[in-house]
Structure 1
């Protein structure tokens, strides 16, 4: 018979490979012989415990870890009544181990004083047990042992490696600030990349334009440095690279790869562009200012640029004078102001190369427009009726356009202006405007003053003016004459003693005079315009009309009310008269035929009512007729009243 074990939990002991065993019920049990895998069994070949554990469990830092331990006894008939389960953890950096949990049929307990005293819990079922480690730490990456002991029924032990993963921070790339010359014989440091605080160790890979870079002697060197702090690993990598001119547009980046549970992840850094130094191999020279065509007086800027890095200084010169160095400002040649003699081919050469074929060239053309020359010059005197031809020309490097103006109005187009049958209106200043359509900023002008000479010419088509004016009114008489020399105007007025000149004006070829007079009787006035070349006169005849005083005019608003009242009264009287006649006819007092009319006349002489109606009807009918016929008179009747226009 087996003695039942003590209910007191055994003490935890550090168990080496040949440890003394486990104390149960105050007795020292023999230690299990272990194989290379660390499992052990009782020396009873007929008793066997089958124990199953995972080789490893992977978990992120801070997450809980679940480690299962399943067991069963192969001989069901010898199923023990007492089973003891213990969990151990291997000590970091040594082969010793430490117990963290104990369980038997009567008790279950977590060992005190260990790193897992407050962080583990176990779950039991028919298949075995499962250890849960909460808030996993980096120090938890070690072996966990599960030991099952059925005493005489046999025992077994298994282990699981707990792996902890902590992704590192995103990689940080930093390129060198100085430029890297393509003339360096050995690879130069291009950039460094660092990935911090990962577990386990991260790895760094370099890329150029998305393609991985591998170490190549004399071309690519990759240096890796891994450090540890607080259990975390930080990886720092340096890329040494032999640059070429094509690398000026290349982008470099680094990528960190690290392990996570059941996978490998990668995080790529941002891309950087490095500064590559290389000599100039191509030069370009162009006109930067002004935009478009260049004219005399402009400020011209010629800019030179090469493909070298850093940019090389340049020497400016003209093809006509290659040995004369022109003064410049940086990579710009300023010419101000330019004239036509500044035209030609300009060149620029870089100083970082001795190859004279590496240069830039540009052709500079300076356009011009000379002052306009007008023939005849200044002024020209011509007789009235003559013809004249004027020309305007200006020398230009481009095609020109010429337009003639007089008093702001266009009078001709082209280099030649034809004036035919000159009149006084022809007199004036003629301006020719010469422009360059392709370069509007270029323009020139010239002018000629034309003077038309002749006798006086009065303005207006009438040589004699007749008019009627009321006596007593003031009248203005105007006389204007053209001519060269300037004509003078005199007045001869008959019929009015009260007159005087109120306006007397003269300009280059026009004289104007205005006199004011009072009409008291018929007036005759003579305007005499004369100069050295002739005389011209204009007559004014004014007939005086006596003033007539008229009565007050008729006001329609005053008579309209009277007419309406009269019309209404007439209509009422006619209605009454019709009723009386109809009544007399019914009584037989009005016979039909001509005799009837005579009787009616007699009746009217006897009947006062009829006579009164007849008298009233006559007056009212007269008013009605006047109202209906407008202003027509009634025969043998004169209308009187306050309004004299009623006639």
Structure 2
């Protein structure tokens, strides 16, 4: 029995040594994995060591089906090498090397997804020893960049369970990509009742993977500013890569804990007439309804604009908010004060009349909620500050319109004003024109203006030096208290025109000297023969004027003036008296030895007339007057000397 056991042990040892010798004869070495992108070429290297030469080796390549079954794709021995027909790799593989260098390489072209298999290299020697190695072929496809879709509505913090936040999706990757969610840079993983991440994997008909992940959160108030995104990690040969989605935020609804109401505009103090805009808001962002009200009115909105406010609208304004989710109501209050400035009140409240040299005190006040400043103006110039105006030693220049302006410096544009009109009793004062000497063409219309100042407003009358009263064309009182009177008339001779202004306190006058100009022409030569008149002989020398010779314009002497007219009238009266005396003496026979019974009327027109020549030094015009003042014909008055004989 012992002999049999010893024999069996010896046979086993012999077999073990024989097998060890065979295994030891062939050593195969291969990479664990070869990685390539889809469509590229993969090379799988098989390295071995054997004591047998090339002629004693058999090389065989195969791949594993379903993890157990082998499918040969290549065979080589000392006499032949061939690619197996009718396999998936028949047209896409080649093998380099015959084993002489201890290395053969399997090349697979246009690698596809289903080429991701285990490839086996088997080496056999003639001594029945064999060795084999295995390499995994890994195929990769880069997926498309991820897309993210956030929910379009806000999420309340009062939700009982986590609410869906967003969906992240990546398509067409191989192997399957992985999606990870981040909030403020922190990865989000499943936490019961707080975070839920639900992935979904889809294998496309192409064999590629598409992955979708849905993130749900139970949000808090702090999440209103949180930044969320997803990233996608995927494998490529020899490394891992990652895509990041765009960032997004979510709308988080949280209830208010307090309500605030304030004056949005105007900024600063409010005055009557302003538009006041009130705003109301809570510190939450849950949909809420707002109501703003004061003691008299109510407005159902978070904004209320009060147009043209008055002081009566001053007071407390309350805003109340109703949370539409929890139905909790909160209130806030703001005080509004409307500043005011009443119209200015001036005393005396009507026009004031002063005598020359008198004095007066006026006051100006305006009721206001603010401190005011008062300034007095006259003709746009500042004359005094304070609410009191003192006028002393009144003169004509004291009269006019006074304005008091009341301002509240604390608010720009807050201002009111009042007026005081002051009259000073004074005689008329006519403003002297630049010139009172006026030349105007004969028969033309001349227009004269006269400005008179005084109080009461003076009465203006227009008269001429020959006693005529001219009609007033227009008359108006200007803003500065000056009466402007206008007259117009036709110029027929030199004349003086008087503007007379008068009121209860005196008169004033200004004189305008009007000079009339004319143009005359003589068209023929005139010769006058000597003429004999009774005992008085007048000899007139002839004067010759060239035909069609124009005589220059002659200025009419001021014979129309009052003094010259008076002299002429006196001369005429003296001549009339002289004529009467001569006639009386003639009737009595005291002249030329004739009696008074002689008829003095005989040949009156030829003998007894006494002719007087009145000559103008400038115009060479003669006026002939008879004893009785009658004007003689001018046919013999062409500038000759006239002798008078008794």
TM-score in same-fold range (> 0.5): yes
- Preserved CA contact (<8 Å) 1:208 1:252: yes
1:547-593 residue CA offsets vs partner (Å, 9 max, x unmatched): 9xxxxxxxxxxxxxxxxxxxxxxxxxxxxxxxxxxxxxxxxxxxxxx
Give, in angstroms, the shift of residue 159 of structure 1.
Answer: 1.7
- Preserved CA contact (<8 Å) 1:280 1:308: yes
Give, in angstroms, the shift of residue 530 of structure 1.
Answer: 1.9
Give, in angstroms, the shift of residue 207 of structure 1.
Answer: 1.5
User: What secondary structure sits across from 2:114 in the alignment?
Assistant: helix
Give, in angstroms, the shift of residue 226 of structure 1.
Answer: 3.0
Please say which of residues 398-407 and 155-164 is displaced more in the overlay.
Answer: 398-407
Q: Kindly report the root-mean-square deviation, in angstroms, between the aligned alpha carbons of the 2 structures.
A: 4.1
Matched, 1:64 2:73: no
1:196 to 1:449, Cα distance in 2 relative to 1, 3 A:
same
Structure 1, unpaired ranges of 5+: 1-40, 548-647
Tell me how far apart the structure 1 counterparts of residues 440 and 305 of structure 2 sit (CA, whole Å). 83
1:471 to 1:248, Cα distance in 2 relative to 1, 3 A:
closer
1:247 to 1:470, Cα distance in 2 relative to 1, 3 A:
closer
User: What secondary structure sits across from 1:363 in the alignment?
Assistant: strand
Tell me the equivalent position of 2:451: 480
Give, in angstroms, the shift of residue 55 of structure 1.
Answer: 1.4
Give, in angstroms, the shift of residue 115 of structure 1.
Answer: 1.8
Tell me the equivalent position of 1:18: none
Match 1:350 to one of 305, 309, 321: 321
User: What secondary structure sits across from 1:351 in the alignment?
Assistant: strand
Give, in angstroms, the shift of residue 209 of structure 1.
Answer: 0.4
Tell me the equivalent position of 2:232: 256
1:527 to 1:240, Cα distance in 2 relative to 1, 3 A:
closer
- Preserved CA contact (<8 Å) 1:502 1:516: no
Matched, 1:90 2:67: no
Tell me how far apart the structure 2 counterparts of residues 173 and 468 of structure 1 sit (CA, whole Å). 101
Structure 2, unpaired ranges of 5+: 1-17, 520-646
Tell me how far apart the structure 1 counterparts of residues 209 and 518 of structure 2 sit (CA, whole Å). 130
Tell me how far apart the structure 2 counterparts of residues 201 and 490 of structure 1 sit (CA, whole Å). 119
Tell me how far apart the structure 2 counterparts of residues 53 and 163 of structure 1 sit (CA, whole Å). 15
Tell me the equivalent position of 1:79: 53
Tell me how far apart the structure 1 counterparts of residues 228 and 382 of structure 2 sit (CA, whole Å). 70
Tell me the equivalent position of 1:580: none
Tell me how far apart the structure 2 counterparts of residues 492 and 455 of structure 1 sit (CA, whole Å). 20
Tell me the equivalent position of 1:222: 197
1:168 to 1:425, Cα distance in 2 relative to 1, 3 A:
same
Tell me the equivalent position of 1:141: 116
Give, in angstroms, the shift of residue 539 of structure 1.
Answer: 5.3
- What TM-score do the two structures reach when normalised by structure 1? 0.66
Tell me the equivalent position of 2:596: none
User: What secondary structure sits across from 1:246 in the alignment?
Assistant: helix
Tell me how far apart the structure 2 counterparts of residues 82 and 221 of structure 1 sit (CA, whole Å). 64
Tell me how far apart the structure 1 counterparts of residues 148 and 87 of structure 2 sit (CA, whole Å). 42
- Preserved CA contact (<8 Å) 2:198 2:214: yes
- Preserved CA contact (<8 Å) 1:89 1:97: yes
Match 1:118 to one of 72, 77, 91: 91
Tell me how far apart the structure 1 counterparts of residues 214 and 439 of structure 2 sit (CA, whole Å). 117
1:490-549 residue CA offsets vs partner (Å, 9 max, x unmatched): 45655x89997796534254244567797978x7665432223222234567999999xx
- Preserved CA contact (<8 Å) 2:462 2:469: no
Query: Where does 1:171-250 land on structure 2 (aligned, <5 Å)?
Result: 171-230=146-205, 231-250=207-226
Match 1:505 to one of 467, 471, 475: 475
- Preserved CA contact (<8 Å) 1:296 1:338: yes
Tell me how far apart the structure 2 counterparts of residues 333 and 467 of structure 1 sit (CA, whole Å). 74
User: What secondary structure sits across from 2:75 in the alignment?
Assistant: strand
Give, in angstroms, the shift of residue 406 of structure 1.
Answer: 4.7
- Preserved CA contact (<8 Å) 1:48 1:153: no
User: What secondary structure sits across from 2:249 in the alignment?
Assistant: coil
Tell me how far apart the structure 2 counterparts of residues 143 and 204 of structure 1 sit (CA, whole Å). 28
- Preserved CA contact (<8 Å) 1:500 1:517: no
Give, in angstroms, the shift of residue 67 of structure 1.
Answer: 0.8
- What TM-score do the two structures reach when normalised by structure 2? 0.66
Query: Where does 1:474-553 land on structure 2 (aligned, <5 Å)?
Result: 479-490=450-461, 493-494=464-465, 505-507=475-477, 509-513=482-486, 527-538=499-510
Query: Where does 1:632-643 land on structure 2 (aligned, <5 Å)?
Result: none
Tell me the equivalent position of 1:606: none
Matched, 1:341 2:318: no
User: What secondary structure sits across from 1:168 in the alignment?
Assistant: coil
Matched, 1:382 2:354: yes
Give, in angstroms, the shift of residue 161 of structure 1.
Answer: 0.8
Give, in angstroms, the shift of residue 343 of structure 1.
Answer: 1.4
1:450 to 1:226, Cα distance in 2 relative to 1, 3 A:
same
1:157 to 1:492, Cα distance in 2 relative to 1, 3 A:
closer
Matched, 1:445 2:417: yes
